[in-house]
Amino acid sequence: MTKSEKVQFVIDTLEKLYPETPIPLDHKDPYTLLIAVLMSAQSTDARVNIITPLLFEKADNPYDMIKLSVEEIREIIKPVGLSPMKSKGIHGLSQILIDKHNGKVPQNFQDLEALPAVGHKTASVVMSQAFGVPAFPVDTHIHRLMFRWNLSNGKSVEQTEKDAKRLFPRELWNKLHLQIIYYGREYSPARGWKLENDIITQTIGRKTVLSDYYKKK
């Protein structure tokens, strides 16, 4: 298979498996999505979706959020982990949204990444899922699969993002990054991986990955 044929195989397979791609994090608007994505760092979407209703019941907008203390936010979100950093980030970015953006989530990468606790991946998710701007946020699943599929060298998430954007059509980025995440969770996880269930890696996978898999068997 040529590289372009491999890319097309990925696109076609994922489209068959996941024709619909609901956003994994529960939210109602850009602000609640931003908070949910921030909370998801080193946590699971399922856990975040349990905790966000508790937080959003008290504050689902920046004006109500700053009425809570950092400690109050921390107590609510403690189950998702990293609560000291995340609570400060949530309170701090809410104040900045009020002071600089009229309480609205900005629709550009520069202003989003200037917010406390908001990195490039979080900004990419918000731009993609809240505003429909083409982006390719790379999480652990995408980073792992792009390496397994020999479509990136695995050296950094920055390189993986560059490779994904170079290989896949721009108009597919917003849907495709979710499809890859769903596929990674279901068919190609980091732990408990069964190659016989992973049709994409079987077909286009990196030889070293496949040989290492069989050695472990």
Is residue 139 among the annotated active site residues?
A: yes
| Residue 54 CB neighbour total at 10 angstroms | 12
Residue reference for tokens 């202003």: 111
Looking at residue 29, its amino acid is D
Residues 111/131, Cβ–Cβ less than 8 Å = no
Give 63's contacts (C-beta < 8 A, 6+ positions apart): 94, 98, 103
Among the listed residues 121, 175, 194, 212, the single catalytic one is 121
Cα end-to-end span (Å), the chain: 26
Is residue 155 among the annotated active site residues?
A: no
The number of CA neighbours under 13 Å toward the Cβ of 171 is 0
* The two three-digit tokens of residue 31, written as one number: 């602000």
Chain centroid to Cα 200, Å, comes to 21
Among the listed residues 6, 139, 163, 198, the single catalytic one is 139
Residues 61/67, Cβ–Cβ less than 8 Å = no
**Rounded to whole angstroms, how far apart are CA atoms 161 and 68?**
36
| Residue 98 CB neighbour total at 10 angstroms | 16
Question: Which positions are annotated as active-site residues?
Answer: 121, 139
